[in-house]
Amino acid sequence: MPGARPKVVTMTAVRAKNGLATFTSGQPLVMCDTHLRVVGWNAAAERLTGIPSADAVGRGCWEVVDAVDRSGLAVCGPDCLHGRLARAGCPVAGREALVPTPCGRRSVLLSTITLRSGTRQVILHLLQPAPGPEPARAARAGGAASAGAARLTARQQQVLALLAEGRQARAIGRRLGIKEATVRNHIHAILAQLGCHSQLAAIARARREGLV
């Protein structure tokens, strides 16, 4: 049925090609290396997308997952923010995304998990059926976002939003019509206000609090 959500299927395992680990999930599970190339693709992912594992493994996850937001803008990419945060060891907040299936795009909750073993690292994407909004949960999230936003000026919020899009200080300056040095001053102030030591950590916190 066109409006149906992806169903939970029988537990199936996915094993990385390099033998790092095996993971089992009843939800669509995609395993990537640090270059965001697919190294594992379970049966649930096959059923959701219609793409067999043999066709998915070895390709960029952005090519096969091809997630977009509700406005049609790409969520995935070869240098996407989710991948950069994961590689840096920062927590990545889950987000709703639309992924292609044989029956049209479906709404899922895209969760990103980073696993390390010595010098090796894998990035997992879990695609869960997106739940409907819960009023109490939405109210709590809105309150947290308002409290966090109150600590930042309007200009700082603009700079933070552009950082979250992956833009560099020079590009942000051109976009906002201000000097690059001014942008960097705003970034320093944002890090201090959010209690973060890096831009990636600030973006991760901003996403958790709903600031961007």
pLDDT in tens, 119-147: 788 899 999 877 654 444 444 444 444 44
Helix (H) or strand (E) holding 206: helix 199-208
Confirm whether 165 is domain-assigned.
yes
Q: What is the pLDDT of residue 2?
A: 47
Same domain? 114 vs 179: no
User: Of 193, 137, 129, 127, whose CA–CA distance to 160 is shortest?
Assistant: 193
pLDDT, tens digit (0-9, with 9 covering 90-100), for 31-63 = 998 889 999 999 889 988 888 888 999 999 988
Which of 112, 129, 146 marks a domain boundary? 129
Which of 83, 99, 129 marks a domain boundary? 129
What average pLDDT does the structure give for the chain? Answer: 78
Residue 179, φ and ψ in degrees, nearest 5? -70, 150
Same domain? 119 vs 139: no
Q: Do residues 84 and 203 touch, judged by C-beta distance below 8 A?
A: no
Confirm whether 104 is domain-assigned.
yes
pTM of whole model > 0.75?
Answer: no
* DSSP tag of 156: H
Q: Do residues 121 and 21 touch, judged by C-beta distance below 8 A?
A: no
Please tell me the distance from the alpha carbon of residue 150 to that of residue 157, in angstroms, as a whole number: 10
Which of 129, 145, 164 marks a domain boundary? 129
CA 92 from chain center: how many Å? 6
Mean pLDDT of 71-80: 81
Same domain? 75 vs 173: no
197 is in which domain, residue-wise? 135-208
Same domain? 123 vs 140: no
Same domain? 108 vs 68: yes
CATH number at residue 192: 1.10.10.10
Structure confidence at residue 3 as a pLDDT band (50, 70, 90): very low
Per the structure, the count of domains in the chain is 2
CATH number at residue 71: 3.30.450.20
Asked if pLDDT for residue 75 goes beyond 90, the answer is: no
Confirm whether 6 is domain-assigned.
no
Q: What is the pLDDT of residue 49?
A: 87
Q: What is the pLDDT of residue 179?
A: 92
